[in-house]
Amino acid sequence: MARYKAIFKSVSVLFIFLSLLVTIVPHFTNAATLNQGPASVSGNPVLGQPLAVNVTFNAPTGGNPAAYMLDTEVFSGVTGAKVAQFSEAFTLNAGQSINRSYTLQTAGLAAGKYTVKQGLFSLDWKTLFSWNDGSASVNLVAPSVAAPATTWQTGGKLVSANPVANSNLQLAGTFGVAVSGSYILDMELYNSQNVKAYQYYEARNLTAGVTQSVTWNMTPTVAGPYKLKVGIFTPDWQQKAWNDAAVSFNVTTGTSSPVAPTQVNPSAPVNSQGFLRGVNLAGAEFTSEKIPGAYGVDYTYPTTAELDYYNSKGLKLIRLPFLWERVQPALWGDLNQTELARIDAVVAAAKARNMQIIEGWT
């Protein structure tokens, strides 16, 4: 009898142990067919751009709720090395699926194919329940190479038809820069001996990739063939671009006036008392309390449009006031080449229109 009691007691203990084992250990009936996934990789697959790794984990369909380690790993198809790993502990019900998303930083990686692998482990990593060796993949590419910088551009054309000596002639220059900044846009007219006979230039702020046009109204006094040359210079006259033959044309003698041997600027018109008539174009001396001040905001210089307007009214004399402190910021110091170029541009523009200038600093 004692023997049967011992056997019964042993069977009871074994039954209790098996019951506890079923309760605390994940139990599933389809371990052989359990799959992890699907997974996907979203985002711009360019090196340096973050990507989202989206994965789905599936718990076994049989048994009780249990805790698992959800593991996601990313491998390089080039080297075979693991480049990223994401792990989380979750308690899942039987047959439950859960979606997770992780950020993959691609900075420092090489271009090529990368594979996402995922698995379901026990919390202590000792038991692998299910593994997918290729749930998703992505091809990373290098960033596209930036387009070449905008090139320097210079061009010119003759606007006036049938140019005649001692008559108004209009030329146009086109300019484009590769680097935004302040520049001198230079137009020069050469005679048949390739000697510079006339010159006009302006100081302007240019934006890279944006072409600007400059109009030059001038009066050639000598007939013959001419060639227009145009260039772009820094404010201190360092050459950035040059076009040695923008346009060529011929100036005829015409029938109404003789050809003058040299260029002569006509005198400014005078009134009946013999005084010169002109206009004071303020602007460069503005905001004297701000030295040097911001060009185009605190102060400015006369534009070619202003000169054209007063020239059309018969005013051939211009007074150009400006602040000397902007030309020479420090006593006994160097002169500001950018400011000098702006003044020179106004003088050249006035000269091209046969206008005279009185410069006056304040």
What percentage of residues in the chain have a pLDDT greater than 70?
Answer: 82
Judge whether residue 266 has pLDDT over 70.
Answer: no
Give me the chain's average pLDDT, please.
83
Answer with the residue of higher pLDDT: 320 or 275. Answer: 320
Answer with the residue of higher pLDDT: 329 or 21. Answer: 329
Domains of the chain: 26-140 (2.60.40.10), 153-251 (2.60.40.10), 278-361 (no CATH)
Could you report how far apart the first and last alpha carbons of the chain are, in Å? 129
In the predicted model, what is the mean pLDDT of residues 137-160?
A: 83
Q: What is the pLDDT of residues 162-181, one digit of tens each?
A: 899 888 989 999 999 999 99
Lowest mean pLDDT among 101-105, 252-256, 258-262: 258-262
- Of 281, 356, 290, 289, the C-alpha closest to 322 is 281
Q: What is the pLDDT of residues 299-346, one digit of tens each?
A: 889 998 888 888 888 888 888 888 888 888 888 888 889 988 988 899
Judge whether residue 244 has pLDDT over 50.
Answer: yes
